[in-house]
A and B are shown apart, each in its own frame.
Chain A
């Protein structure tokens, strides 16, 4: 747990040179404050003039309320709050799965969106949407609202496992193989998804279109209920991975020599990546680059220590996604831009910049 800012500041003065943990704790506190303010801002603003303050005020006041407050209340509680909550969950999930994947593959360029994991998760989701009424009916009936995120999780898991098997030999990941295998896997998943889409009827096509827009717009408490357990479980597992991923950055053999149960760490990391990516894809479609931009920025400031990098990624990913959502809601108002477009506009050039900087170093 981060200490209060004041203690962190004091610790920073006495921190030994080269030890960035005090700075990292301070950054964690600042990021938490940032997330609270961004979330408050998102709840308070929107297409309508509904006043979040009035609504919150109403929560604490007994007695009947007038019609205007009732309308505001509906807007804040059923539209804005779920949207903010979903944004926090999805942003945290995307950034943390990026950081985990980079630790697992020992490479800062790994990202679920770039190497086909998101495409695999999408295929899982599309399968449920198209076949959920027919072949998969019993499974969907059994799993209810969790069917979609679980299917996306399954698709992401299979893709991650195939990718790891192909790109990693004796604990060393070849970046070229990883990226190329990711392209092939994404193409394959896309092709199968295409076949499914051609089999879809009108109603399913409408569902698919809404889903694939990549937006937080359709957020409901039901959706949140469907993905929150999966995302929160993945986030809750990350503290147990931090030590292992730090050791893994020395290579698999050295990690084992340090006493880390390497296979268990890798398996848990793969599960968390697939769960977080799958859940995020299931509710918001494809939102790219959060997983690569957020951990990279944080490593520049607090270093690669996963004890701090993972929680900081969750906080910053949530904040950035809420900001991107605010941009997507306002830039072409009253229409809404899919949020995936906003993250790509900022994220893709950032990724190119990282590539340029690393071009001279080692083999990427």
Chain B
């Protein structure tokens, strides 16, 4: 369980998060949505331990700021928005960096094979020998996801859930790989881990998230299941843009139709 209560973050004198409450449970994909500048990435960074904050952030009941880097690395892995590398690493060498923490949770002796397995998961089998710098942005993003998966290969370690913190994991991906990455997140949650993802695509959010957290001006505007949260008035208000919400014929999954707002 990730718990955030009354957390504030200020950067350069400006208050980015103001008394925020948030929670993410193991077994769930928790999506963070909101307009640009609403504090989504700042929340992920605070959860990752990158920013000084006031208030309480707990992972599995332990105060985040009291965790040593190695302890935190065994509890969660973080996918950055983008990562440039300063030296010519091969794809396999980048993915292998995920094993540095030494707590993948894979069976003894299996760590050596994890880079290949993780790359196959993100649809990059056969890319091991390529140079990272020569890949497209979307491919690089999937390589980073494979690295992150290696770090917390087993979603549950010693009976305790672990977490994936994903900052815009599908931002550079084509639609096929957007679905692939969201399915990987779902699978991680179904096997007992927790996923927190910053997402921009409301329809992808509705289709894959168990819980949605809507951010607005550094505060929580709403939190709940996609059906609870994705209401026309709330979304139109938060995104400052008139939006129509419908539901796909077969069931409960809501969708947002941007064209409706233009017409």
Contact = CB atoms under 8 A, between A and B. Distances in A.
A, B in one complex: yes
Interface of A: 16-20, 106-108, 243, 246-247, 249-251, 253-254, 256-262, 299, 303-305, 361-362
Contacts of A20: 90, 93
Sorted nearest first, the 8 A-B pairs with minimum C-beta distance are A259-B73, A18-B92, A304-B87, A18-B128, A17-B129, A18-B90, A106-B86, A18-B129
Interface stretch (B1-9, B77-85, B185-193): B77-85
A27 to B, nearest CB: 16
B49 interface: yes
B141 to A, nearest CB: 13
Given A17-B92, A108-B87, A303-B89, A253 B101 contact: no
A257 B77 contact: yes
A261 B68 CA distance: 8
Given A254-B78, A259-B101, A303-B90, 9 more contacts: A16-B115, A249-B86, A249-B89, A250-B94, A251-B83, A253-B78, A259-B71, A260-B100, A305-B93
11 contacts: A19-B93, A246-B97, A250-B83, A250-B85, A258-B73, A258-B97, A259-B69, A261-B70, A303-B88, A304-B88, A362-B84
A259 B87 contact: no
Contact of B80 (A107, A251, A361): A251
Contact of B151 (A106, A246, A249, A258): A258
A256 B50 CA distance: 9
Contacts of A258: 73, 97-98, 100-101, 151
Residue among A16, A17, A258, A261 having the largest count of chain B Cβ atoms under 10 Å: A258
B213 to A, nearest CB: 21
B80 A16 contact: no
B225 interface: no
A299 B87 contact: yes
Contacts of A247: 97, 100
A16 B120 CA distance: 14
Contacts of B49: 256-257
Contacts of B115: 16, 18
The range of chain B's interface size is 35 or more
Contacts of A16: 92, 115-116, 128
A294 B84 CA distance: 24
B131 to A, nearest CB: 9
A18 B83 contact: no
Contacts of B87: 108, 249, 299, 303-304
Contacts of B73: 257-259
A243 B69 CA distance: 14
A19 B89 CA distance: 10
Q: Helix, strand, loop or mixed for chain A's interface? A: loop
B130 interface: yes
A122 B146 CA distance: 47
A329 B222 CA distance: 77
Nearest to A257: B78
A362 B134 CA distance: 12
A259 to B, nearest CB: 3
A304 B94 CA distance: 11
A93 to B, nearest CB: 22
Contacts of B85: 249-250
A107 B86 contact: yes
B103 to A, nearest CB: 8
A259 B98 CA distance: 10
Given A16-B116, A257-B73, A258-B100, A304 B89 contact: yes
B245 interface: no
A243 to B, nearest CB: 6
Given A259-B74, A262-B69, A254 B93 contact: no
Contacts of B97: 246-247, 250, 258
B91 interface: yes
Contact of A259 (B45, B72, B94): B72
A74 B142 CA distance: 64
Contacts of A362: 84
A257 B48 contact: yes
A171 to B, nearest CB: 10
B36 to A, nearest CB: 21
B100 A246 contact: yes
Nearest to B73: A259
A7 B61 CA distance: 48
A305 B130 CA distance: 15
B48 A253 contact: yes
A249 to B, nearest CB: 5
Residue among B71, B89, B116 having the largest count of chain A Cβ atoms under 10 Å: B89
Contacts of B90: 18-20, 303
Residue among B50, B69, B71, B87 having the largest count of chain A Cβ atoms under 10 Å: B87
Contacts of B45: 253
B84 to A, nearest CB: 7
Nearest to B103: A259
Nearest to B133: A361
B144 to A, nearest CB: 8
B128 A17 contact: yes
